[in-house]
Each structure stands twice: as structure tokens, then as C-alpha cells.
Amino acid sequence: MHENLARIQMAERLGEAQSLRRGHHLARAQRLGRKAETAAQQARLALARAL
């Protein structure tokens, strides 16, 4: 009985940890995407000035 309860709780904790990890990766990917967009915009501006 107690083993099943412990197993269920452990599975829930693992699920929570995985979803938190996914959220962290998503936030990081969005930050990197914004940095890339900013860099691309600056490159376009520099190219426009050079012409």
C-alpha cells in the first residue's frame, strides 16, 4: 500500500520536474530568438547605411 503511494508521488514529482525543465528550455529559446532578431535587424540597418 505505502509502496504504491510512494511510487505515485515519485511519478508526479518527475512529471513536475520535466514540465519545469520544458518551460525553462522554452524561455531560453525565446530569449535566444529575440537576440537573433535584434542582431538581424542591426545587420539590416548597417547594410542600409553602407549602401
Tens digit of each residue's pLDDT (9 = 90 or more) over 1-33: 789 988 999 999 999 989 989 988 989 999 999
**Is the overall model pTM greater than 0.85, yes or no?**
no
Helix, strand, or coil (residue 24): helix
pLDDT of amino acid 2: 83
Give the side-chain half-sphere CA count within 13 A for 27.
Answer: 6
pLDDT greater than 90 at residue 43:
yes
pLDDT greater than 90 at residue 49:
yes
How big is the chain, counted in residues? 51
Beta strands in 1-51 (DSSP E): none
d(CA 51, CA 38): 20
Band (51; pLDDT cuts 50, 70, 90): confident
